[in-house]
Structure 1
Amino acid sequence: MAAKFITRCSLLMQVLVFFLAVVPNAFALPLNRLKSLTVIKEVNRRGPYLGLITVYEPEENAFFATGAFKPHETHPFVDLSGRRYRVGKIHGEKVIYVRCGVGMVNAAAATQQMLDLFDIKGIIHFGIAGNANDSMSIGDVIIPKQFANTGIWGWVNLNSTTNLSDVVHLDIASYNVPKGEGTNLLGQIGYTDEEFYSELGKPNTAQPLFWAETSKHWLHLAANLEGMELEQCVNSSLCLPHKPKLVVGLRGSTSNIFVDNAAYREFLVRNFHVSSVDMESAAVVMTSLSNGFPVIVFRGLSDLAGGQSGGNAILKFGPLAALNTAKAVVQFIKTLQ
C-alpha cells in the first residue's frame, strides 16, 4: 500500500510540474500577488501610515526631488496590480506613497486598494491642476475645502425637457458664434449629483452628494502653511512674474476632461465658483470619505485651463507647480507632528 501511495504522489507531482511548465502564466499573477500580500502583512505590523497619492510621473519626480522621502530599509516598496506602493518616512512620519495614474477610475481604484490593504490613518492627495480663478496665478498652491465631480451629466436632445433636479444646466447653443444664430443640435447638458455610499450611512443606500468636503481638522492645520516660501523659477532663465502663494479653503472641480477651453472654464467658474480643474481629486476625496478616513488635497496651478491667449503652459510650468505642491505636502506632514 505504501508503495502504491508513493507511486500516486509521484505521478501527481509529475503532472503538476508538467502543467506548470506548459502554462506558467496561469500561476504567475496569483503567486506575485501572494508574495505582495505577505510583504503587506509585514509592513502593516509597523503601521499606521499616512497614504500619499499623486497622479503621473512629473508629480512623482517633484515629490522625490524634495529629498524628504526616506525609503524603508527592508521593505521599500510593494508591487500590486501594476502599481508600486512605496513605504518610508517623511520627517519621521510613516508614509505609503503611490502614483495612481490619470483619471477618476485610476484615482478611486488606487485609493480603495490602499485603504483596503494597508494600515492607513488618512489620505493626502497632491498634484497639479488647471487654474480657473483669476485671482490666483500659475505656480500657486491651493488646498480646497470642497470638490465636485462635474463629469456627471445628462446630455439632452434639442428641445427636450431638462431635469429640474439637475444642479446646473449648460445650454450649448448659447455659445454659438455669432451668438444666437443657427440651430445647435448638441442641445443641453444637465449636471447631476453623485450617489454617495458611506460607512456611516445605511447599507446599500446612496445619498445624493455634489460637494465632497475634505477633512476640516486637516484644513485647519493646513492654514498654518499660508505664507510659506514657494519656488518662483523653473531655472535661471525661466521665472514667474510673481511670487507664488498658498491658499486654503477654495473649491475644486474634477472630471475625466482635460480643460483647455476659455468658454467652459468661465462656465465652471460662474456656476460652481471653482478655482481649480483636475481629473482625480473628487474621486480620491469621495473614496476616502466613503471608507471613513480623513482626506486633504493639495493642487499646484500649472496652467490657465484655456484662459490664456497662447498655448497651454502646463509643459513649461507644470514641473514648478508640482514641486511647490510637493514642498507644501512635506511641510504639512511636518506640521502634523
Structure 2
Amino acid sequence: MNSTMAARCFVVLVFVSFLVMSVSAIPSKRRRGSFSTIKQLNRKGPFIGLITVYSPEEEAFFRSGAFKPDAKHPFVDLSGSNYDVEGRRYRVGKINGKKVVFVRCGVGMVNAAAATQQMLDMFDITGIVHFGIAGNVNNSMSIGDVTIPKQFAHTGIWDWLNPNGTLPTNDIAELDFGSYNVPKGDGMNLLGKIGYSYEQFFSESGKPNTAIPLFWAQISEQWLQLAAGLEGMELERCVNSSVCLSRKPKLVVGLRGSTANIFVDNAAYRDFLYQTYAVSSVDMESSAVVMTSLSNGYPVIVIRGLSDLAGGQTGQNAIQTFGPLAARNAAQAVVKFIGYLS
C-alpha cells in the first residue's frame, strides 16, 4: 500500500469512527420522549423521591393501596439503551395528596447510588425516602420490627492484609480471621485480617474536587424528628392466617445501620458487626442512597423492616418466610411518614 492510499484509509477510518460516536451520542426517540414527559411532570412538582430495592418490596408498597398513579403520566422509563433495552421505571403519582416519584433501584450499592443520582438529576425532588427489608443484628430487636436509623456506615471498604500485616492507622476497626479458628488459636489463618476504612465524601457545599473522610453518614435531623412520631404505630404480626410472629412488632427510631455488598447470613460476623459498631440492621443499599442524597444536598431517611436474623438463627434464614411481612410493615411506615411531610 502506497502512502497516498494509506492516507485515504486513515481519513475514512477517522470519519467512520466519528460517525459511530455521533450516532451513539444521539438519544433514541423513546429516550427523547421520556425527557419531554419529565419536563412536563416537573412543572407539576416538586416530588418526594421513593426508592426501594427489589420486587417483593415494590409489591408490598403497591398493595398498600396508598399510591395513586398520575392520570396522564403514570410512569417514565429511563436507563434503556439506544437499542430499546428496558431500563428503570419511575412511577409518578400521589400518596395522601403528596406528589411522589417511586423507583425500584435493584440490589447492591452501585444500583442504589445510580438510581438515586438519576432521580435527583431528572426530577424536581425535595428529598429521598428509601425503604425495604434488612437483616437484624441486634438481639433487642425482632423479625417484623421496623427500624429508622439515625446513622449509616458503609462497612465494605476494606484493607485486606496478610496475617502479619500492619493495619493502616486511619482504619476504624479490625477483623482478625485467626480469632475465629476452631479450635481457637490453632495455627495461622492465611486470610489474615481486614481493616475497615472510611468513605470519601464529596459534597456540593464543600471545596471542589476535595473529599472528607466519613464513616457515619447522618440521616437528616428534621426528617428523623418527624419519624419519631411513628413510634407506637400498629404493625402487622402475621404473614398469613397460619404463620404469625410470637410477639407484636415495634417501630424504633434512632438506631444505627450498616451497608455493604454482602448478604449477611453468618452468626460470627453478625456478632462482630453489632459488638464493633453497635449497628442494629444490615442491608446492601441504604448507605449508598444516603451518601448520594447528602452529597447532593437533599434530605434523606431510611425505613427498613427486619426480615431475618442475619445468620443468628437456628436452621434456615427466615427471609423467605418473613420477608413479605417485613416489607409490608416498612411500606406502612413509609405511607404514614409521607403524611407528616409538608
Q: Is 1:296 matched with 2:301?
A: yes
Match of 2:334 among 319, 329, 332: 329
State the SS of the aligned residue for 1:232: coil
Deviation at 1:27, TM superposition (A): 9.2
Structure 2: distance between partners of 1:320 and 1:335: 23
| 1:126-275 alignment runs, 5 A limit | 126-275=131-280
Q: Following TM superposition, where does structure 1 have runs of at least 4 consecutive aligned residues deviating by more than 4 angstroms?
A: 25-29
Structure 2 match to 1:80: 78
State the SS of the aligned residue for 2:282: strand
1:53-109 deviation digits (Å, cap 9, x = unpaired): 000000000000100000000000000000000000000000000000000000000
Structure 2: distance between partners of 1:192 and 1:256: 15
State the SS of the aligned residue for 1:269: helix
Q: Aligned AA for 1:44?
A: N
Deviation at 1:33, TM superposition (A): 1.3
Structure 2: distance between partners of 1:281 and 1:165: 24
1:122-151 deviation digits (Å, cap 9, x = unpaired): 000000000000000000000000000000
Match of 2:40 among 42, 50, 57: 42
Q: Aligned AA for 1:309?
A: T
State the SS of the aligned residue for 1:239: coil
Q: Is 1:124 matched with 2:132?
A: no
State the SS of the aligned residue for 1:234: coil
Paired-residue identity, %: 71
Deviation at 1:30, TM superposition (A): 2.2
Structure 1: distance between partners of 2:164 and 2:30: 55
Q: Aligned AA for 1:33?
A: R
Q: Aligned AA for 1:95?
A: V
State the SS of the aligned residue for 1:138: coil
Q: Is 1:97 matched with 2:85?
A: no
> Which shifted more, 159-168 or 211-220?
159-168
Structure 2: distance between partners of 1:26 and 1:122: 33
| 1:48-63 alignment runs, 5 A limit | 48-63=46-61
Q: Aligned AA for 2:236?
A: E
Structure 1 regions of 5+ residues with no counterpart? 1-18, 20-24
Aligned partners of 2:163 and 2:188 also within 8 Å: no
Structure 1 match to 2:84: none
1:209-255 deviation digits (Å, cap 9, x = unpaired): 00001110001010001000000001110000000000000000000
Deviation at 1:284, TM superposition (A): 0.2
1:151-184 deviation digits (Å, cap 9, x = unpaired): 0011001211111210001000000000100110
Q: Is 1:30 matched with 2:28?
A: yes
Aligned partners of 2:290 and 2:301 also within 8 Å: yes
Aligned partners of 2:232 and 2:250 also within 8 Å: yes
Structure 2: distance between partners of 1:286 and 1:30: 31
Size of the aligned set, in residue pairs, is: 314
Structure 1: distance between partners of 2:305 and 2:100: 21
Q: Is 1:307 matched with 2:317?
A: no
Q: Aligned AA for 2:322?
A: F
Q: Aligned AA for 2:254?
A: G
State the SS of the aligned residue for 2:153: strand
Structure 2 regions of 5+ residues with no counterpart? 1-18, 80-86
Structure 2 match to 1:5: none
> Which shifted more, 237-246 or 159-168?
159-168
Question: What is the alpha-carbon root mean square deviation over aligned residues?
Answer: 1.3
Q: Aligned AA for 1:233?
A: C
Structure 2: distance between partners of 1:198 and 1:128: 28
Structure 1: distance between partners of 2:108 and 2:25: 30
TM norm structure 1: 0.92
State the SS of the aligned residue for 2:28: helix
Q: Aligned AA for 2:221?
A: K
